[in-house]
Amino acid sequence: MILEKLSFILFNLKSNKLMIIIDNILVPFVDSPSAIGALKTAIYISNIYKAKLHVIHVMTDKTNDNVLDLIKEICTRENAVFTFIERSGSIHKEIIKAEKEINASLIVMGAYGVTGWQQLWVGSNAFKVVSTSHCPVLTLQGDVSSFKGFRKIMLPLDDSDETRQKVNWDITLAKAFDAHVLIFNTSKVRGDESRKKLAHYAAQVEILLAKEGIKTSFDESYGNNIAEDCIKFAQIHNCDLITIMTETENTNSFFMGTYAQQLVSTSTIPVLCIHSRSVAKPTGLG
C-alpha cells in the first residue's frame, strides 16, 4: 500500500511538476561584509539562471555616498549587469515594494552588519524582509568571496504538513548546482509518533529526489533546540545551504517565529527562507 501511494506521488509530480523560474533577483545593499557577500552570491546565481539582477539601496542619514560606486566596482569585477534602485523611507518596506514592482523570484541579502548603523540597516531588517516577502529570501553572513555554488543542501523536515512544500525549491537548486541533499528529520519531542511521521515524510522526499537524479543522505535529531540542531548538523555534514519554511499553520512547527529568526540571525551557513504562501507542495504528497 505504501509503495502504491509513493508511486502515485511520483506519477503526479512527474506529470504535473511545479516549475520554479528564477528570472529576477533583488539584492538589498549597504556597505557591509554580508551585503557585499550577498551581492557576489546573487551574481553567481543570476549567471546560473540567466536572471536579471536588481540592486536596491534605501538611503538613511548614514548612507555612504559611494554606495553606487562600490556596487559598480563589484559588478564590473564579476562581469555582471545590474539595475540600480535607490529609495528612501522604511528600509524593509521599500525592499518589499521593490520586490513586488520587479516581480522578484528571489531576494538575496546579508543578515548581519558589522556595528552600529550597519547592523541596524542589515540585521534588524533581514528578518522583517523574511517575514513579509512573497518570494523566498536567501540570507547569509560575511563576505562569501569564495562562493562557487551550493554543493550540499540541508532539507530539514518537521512535524507540519507545510514542511515538504520546500521540496520543489530543493530540487530546483540541487539540479542547477549538481548538489547533494541532506534530509534532516527534527522535532522538539522524542516520541515514537513524531519519529514515525517524519520517517514517512523522509521516505517520500527521498524517492522524489532520487527520481530527479539527486543524491541524498539522511540524519535526525529530536528533543533539542531546533535551530541549533540544524546549524550543528549542517556543519557536521558540510552543508552550504539550509532551506526552511518560515511559517505554517501547525503550532508544533519549529521554523516560525523565534526559530526562523534564530537561524537567520546566527547561522554562518546561508539560509533560504520560503513562505508557504509562495510555493505549493509537490503534487501528491499527502
Element (H, E) at 65: none
Residue at grid coordinates 529530536:
222
Sheet holding 52-59, edge to edge: 83-88, 52-59, 24-28, 106-110, 137-140, 271-274, 241-245, 152-157, 180-187, 216-222
**Angle 33-37-38 (CA atoms, 0-180°, nearest 5)?**
120
Fold of 24-140: Rossmann fold (3.40.50)
Per-state percent for the chain, helix, strand, coil, to nearest 5: 45, 20, 35
Cell of 261: 529568526
Q: Cβ(142)–Cβ(34) under 8 Å?
A: yes
For the chain, give the number of residues: 286
| Global confidence as pTM | 0.87
| Bridge partner residues of 108 (DSSP) | 138
- The residue extents of the domains of the chain are 24-140, 151-276
Which three cell numbers mark 145? 568571496
* Sign (positive or negative) of CA dihedral 235, 154, 215, 205: positive
**Do residues 198 and 161 make contact, with C-beta atoms less than 8 angstroms apart?**
no
Q: Which cell numbers hold the place of 113?
A: 552588519
Query: Rg (Cα) of the chain, in Å, rounded?
Result: 19
167 neighbors 10 (Cβ within 8 angstroms): no
What's the fold here for domain 151-276?
Answer: Rossmann fold (3.40.50)
What is the reported pLDDT for 248?
Answer: 43
Which pLDDT tens digits describe the chain residue by residue (286 residues)?
Answer: 344 344 434 434 443 445 799 999 999 998 888 889 999 999 999 999 999 999 999 987 666 678 999 999 999 999 999 999 999 988 889 999 999 999 999 999 988 654 554 555 555 788 888 888 999 999 988 766 678 899 999 999 988 778 899 999 999 999 999 999 999 999 988 989 999 999 999 999 999 999 999 999 999 999 998 899 999 999 999 999 999 988 643 434 444 456 777 888 888 899 999 987 666 556 556 6
